[in-house]
Structure 1
Amino acid sequence: MTHDTLPGPCHLCGDTRGDRVNGAWRCARCGWRYGDVPDADLPLPRIDVVYYLRFGERVKIGTSAQPRRRLGAIRHDELLAFEHGGRDLEQQRHRDFAALREGGEWFTLTGDLAAHIASLRTAGEPWDRYARWLAEALRG
């Protein structure tokens, strides 16, 4: 899909791609209405994510409410996906892929786990999805 260029960067995620929706500009990445500015005096809403990090042929399945900070503290080769959810979903994924567990929160990247991650990626790039969840929570 092709997008137009916003008059300036999105005030929420900084992207410059946009679409006209009902006469108003919306950011193509997060869906935030161009021109609206989040209240800097209020904290951003908490968005819990389950993350999937690849390091070699292994995947760490973890959770965080501050994914940028958390991922910055973990050695990894690639962020594969985000899933909207917290500790309960993370523990469910650990049970779902228990047969592939290598130790702790690390799993072999193969079979059902690889298919699950691929299905999450069809919904979009991880940081784009996170930006959209954040915009939805702010609008909510």
Structure 2
Amino acid sequence: MVKNTRLPGPCTLCGGDRGRRVHGSWHCAVCGWRYGDVPDPDLPLPRIDVVYYLRFDRRVKIGTSMRPRQRLASIRHDELLAFELGGRAVEQQRHRQFAQLREGGEWFTFSRELEAHVSGLRAAGEPWQLHARWLSEALRA
């Protein structure tokens, strides 16, 4: 079993402070980025499309964004429930899957069925940690 330990400093990609040794070097426990590496500031970050699930009262907005921090800042919500890797096609698939729960636009009643789906996504990790991991994987590719 690999033990996560405090990194010498924050991860330059996600800001995480826990890490583990992999092949002699430190890697962030949150996103997997190798400690000390810095993304090239002259290159744009890779595009990471996510489907987001936002709760506001007993409703959930299912939307998509390639810039989730900006997008979520512009939407009134109580809680970010989950991220799912994918773009417009995945979003439309979820809209069809939960069509019977649609209240209007991209808003759906937060039913047991939708809650179960979100719980399954949450089992993979906290949304922003998943996003950091996906970004790290895309940068390494």
- Establish whether TM, by shorter chain, passes 0.5: yes
2:74 corresponds in structure 1 to: 73
Identity %: 71
In 2, the alpha carbon distance for the partners of 1:11 and 1:76 equals 29
The SS at the match of 1:35 is coil
1:93 corresponds in structure 2 to: 94
In 2, the alpha carbon distance for the partners of 1:65 and 1:91 equals 15
Shift of 1:111: 2.2
Question: Which residue identity lines up with residue 19 of structure 2 in the other structure?
Answer: G
2:135 corresponds in structure 1 to: 134
Deviations 1:75-124 (A, max 9, x none): 00000000000000000000000011011100011122111000000000
Alignment pair present for 1:43 and 2:31: no
Deviations 1:10-55 (A, max 9, x none): 1111111111112110001100000111000101000000000000
Matched pairs, number? 140
In 1, the alpha carbon distance for the partners of 2:3 and 2:84 equals 26
In 1, the alpha carbon distance for the partners of 2:81 and 2:23 equals 34
Cα RMSD, aligned residues only: 1.0
TM-score by length of 2: 0.97
Q: Following TM superposition, where does structure 1 have runs of at least 4 consecutive aligned residues deviating by more than 6 angstroms? A: none
In 2, the alpha carbon distance for the partners of 1:22 and 1:108 equals 47
- In structure 2, stretches of 5+ residues that fail to align are none
Alignment pair present for 1:12 and 2:13: yes
1:62 corresponds in structure 2 to: 63
Shift of 1:2: 5.4
In 1, the alpha carbon distance for the partners of 2:62 and 2:3 equals 33
- In structure 1, stretches of 5+ residues that fail to align are none
